[in-house]
Amino acid sequence: MRSAEIKRTTKETDISLKLELDGSGKSVIDSGVGFMDHMLTLFAKHGRFDLELSCRGDIEVDDHHSVEDIGICLGETMLKALGDKKGIRRYGDCILPMDEALILSAVDISGRPLLSYDAKIRAKKVGTFDTELAEEFWAAFARAAKLTLHIRQISGRNSHHIIEGQFKSVARSMRQAVSLDPELAGEIPSTKGML
């Protein structure tokens, strides 16, 4: 079983997260941020990851610390669950329609952290969620998981659809990238011999 868990406590957040890469998409999410609960539930479902998350953060200030730290924890558990990365496909991509929004994502589990993000989210908030936090989440996730992540909004007007499309698209890209390729059993998918 490729799984990992983490507990991270700072003066701003207290997070417990468990991740199973080869799951069925079930999740139990309590982030303290309603919109993130929705997005992470979608991430688990579309990635077929089993995900348990509990976060207590200083949301009386705002949601920033919780969202960023959840991204860090999800990235760290993803990296830990991948282990030596032998036999993984490494790359994944998805162009996903979410109503009028069309989102492209591509991932390389490269060992080289990078986020390339291009989205034009019109609204400053979706409910009480600051929409600029979507980029903060993905940046934290990409850094902690040590992967290259591209997210592009091809079209879209509705801010909820654009962000939801991102989570679904990245989940499906990650599902491809972490999947095991029988032809690569025991191999690191790099000429360098490491990722």
- The CATH number of the domain holding residue 133 is 3.30.230.40
Pairing mode, if any, of strands 114-118 and 148-155? Answer: parallel
pLDDT in tens, 44-71: 999 999 999 999 999 999 999 999 999 9
What is the C-alpha to C-alpha distance for residues 80 and 144, in angstroms, rounded to an integer? 10
Q: What is the per-residue pLDDT across 118-165, written as a single tens digit (0 to 9) for each? A: 999 999 999 999 999 999 999 999 999 999 999 999 999 999 999 999
Q: Does residue 125 belong to any structural domain of this protein?
A: yes
Contact 25, 50 (CB under 8 A): yes
Asked whether residue 192 is domain-assigned, the answer is no
In this predicted structure, what is the pLDDT of residue 179? 97
pTM: 0.96
For residue 127, give both structure tokens: 């409910």
pLDDT given at position 191? 78
Residue 39 falls within a domain, yes or no?
yes
Output the six-digit token pair for 160: 């909820």
Q: Is the pLDDT of residue 171 over 90?
A: yes
pLDDT in tens, 3-44: 999 999 999 999 999 999 999 999 999 999 999 999 999 999
Domain limits at 124? 3-184
pLDDT at 194: 75
Asked whether residue 110 carries a pLDDT value surpassing 80, the answer given is yes
In a domain, 189, yes or no: no
Among candidates 48, 148, 44, 73, which has minimal Cα distance to 105?
148
Number of domains composing the chain: 1
Q: Is the pLDDT of residue 193 over 80?
A: no
Is 191 part of a structural domain of the chain? Answer: no
Distance spanning both ends of the chain, measured CA to CA: 20
The residue type of 167 is F
Residue 98 is predicted with a pLDDT of 97
Residue 193 belongs to a domain = no
70 in a structural domain:
yes
Tens digit of pLDDT for each residue in 74-106? Answer: 999 999 999 999 999 999 999 999 999 999 999
Residue 57 resides in a domain: yes
